[in-house]
């Protein structure tokens, strides 16, 4: 059963409401996380909680009861949902206060959460790969913070969708950063390449898991910048995220990537990743 939670209350779906003066609503003044539970266990839950804590800190939101209290809310929500395979979407905002750009003095952060059934990736997407477009990265300078402000991301993703594509790969003057809601990897020869961590990209938890499986599987991985041209000439391309897991990309701006079907290293990394989620 889908669960909704807001500020201490678990509610039936549709019941939870945010006040009009909620700063998440007024300013996008908050941060969020998306966590996947597999077989009742939160995949890399600690890493997600660490990132949430860092994101909140970066925008000067103080988690009064600490990150441990949020972990308890998540675990209780999943327990109440009765679901073993689900997504947890959690938002922490600066709370509700009369609209003013300045931080309110006595307002407590607001915590909202939904627990929803996980939707497995369509097998066709996994087997055949997805199409993407390339799109200018029009976001702010601090994309390492998982901020609620996602306007450039949703506009880019919508543009991709309207062109029959799954994702928009973002670039700054031809240098690839990441995708609208996922990290990006290319394969050249025997080497997997992904953009290095910086303020320009979200430090994806799935990205971290892929680094680990490459390490364990003795797959060469380089963290370096690459261009849209390199992306288009790569032997293999894939995107990673909590909801997309490891997903092959087989078409970019209407042109097939190499042979036009998912590459062997991508398939191997996906297998190793899925084995990890199964044992989590």
Measured distance CA(268)–CA(50) in Å, rounded: 28
277 binds ligand PDD (CB under 6 A): no
- Closer to ligand PDD by CB, 5 or 96: give it: 5
115 binds ligand PDD (CB under 6 A): no
From the candidates 46, 60, 116, 146, give the one annotated as an active-site residue.
Answer: 146
Near ligand PDD in 159-198, by CB under 6 A: 178, 181-183
- Closer to ligand PDD by CB, 110 or 242: give it: 242
131 binds ligand PDD (CB under 6 A): no
Q: Which residue has the tokens 């303020």?
A: 199
Q: How far is the CB of 52 from ligand PDD (least distance, A)?
A: 11
Q: In sequence order, what DSSP letters do the residues of 165-226 get, joined into one string?
A: -SEEEEEETTEEEEESSSEEEEEETTEEEEPPPSTTS---HHHHHHHHHHHHTT-EEEE---
Measured distance CA(34)–CA(89) in Å, rounded: 5
243 binds ligand PDD (CB under 6 A): yes
211 is catalytic: no
Residue 279 tokens, joined: 């044992």
Near ligand PDD in 199-238, by CB under 6 A: 202, 204-207
- Please report how many Cα atoms fall inside a 13 Å half-sphere around the Cα of residue 237, on the Cβ side: 34
34 binds ligand PDD (CB under 6 A): yes
Return the axis-axis angle of helices 205-216 and 264-279, rounded to nearest 10°.
110
Residues with a catalytic annotation lie at: 146
Which positions lie near ligand PDD, rule CB under 6 A? 34, 153, 178, 181-183, 202, 204-207, 240-243
């Amino acid at each position: 059963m889908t669960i909704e939670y807001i500020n201490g209350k678990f509610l039936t779906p549709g019941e939870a409401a945010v006040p009009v003066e909620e700063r998440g609503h007024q300013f996008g003044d908050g941060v969020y996380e998306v966590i996947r539970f597999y077989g009742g266990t939160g995949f890399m839950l600690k890493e997600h909680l660490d990132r949430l804590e860092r994101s909140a800190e970066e925008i000067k939101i103080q988690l009064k009861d600490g990150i441990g209290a949020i972990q308890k809310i998540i675990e209780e929500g999943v327990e109440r949902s009765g679901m073993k395979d689900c997504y947890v979407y959690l938002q922490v905002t600066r709370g509700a206060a009369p609209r003013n750009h300045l931080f309110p003095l006595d307002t407590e952060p607001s915590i909202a959460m939904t627990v929803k059934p996980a939707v497995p990736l369509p097998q066709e997407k996994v087997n055949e790969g997805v199409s993407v477009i390339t799109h200018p990265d029009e976001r702010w300078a601090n994309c390492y913070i998982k901020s609620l402000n996602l306007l450039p991301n949703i506009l880019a993703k919508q543009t991709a969708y309207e062109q029959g594509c799954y994702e928009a790969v973002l670039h700054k003057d031809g240098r690839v950063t990441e995708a609208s809601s996922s990290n990006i990897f290319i394969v050249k020869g025997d080497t997997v390449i992904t953009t290095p961590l910086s303020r320009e990209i979200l430090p994806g938890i799935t990205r971290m898991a892929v680094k680990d499986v490459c390490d364990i599987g003795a797959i060469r991985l380089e963290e370096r910048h690459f261009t849209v041209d390199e992306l288009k000439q790569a032997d293999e391309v894939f995107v990673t995220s909590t909801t997309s897991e490891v997903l092959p990309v087989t078409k970019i701006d209407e042109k097939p990537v190499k042979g036009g079907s998912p590459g062997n290293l991508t398939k191997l990394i996906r297998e190793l990743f899925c084995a990890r989620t199964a044992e989590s």
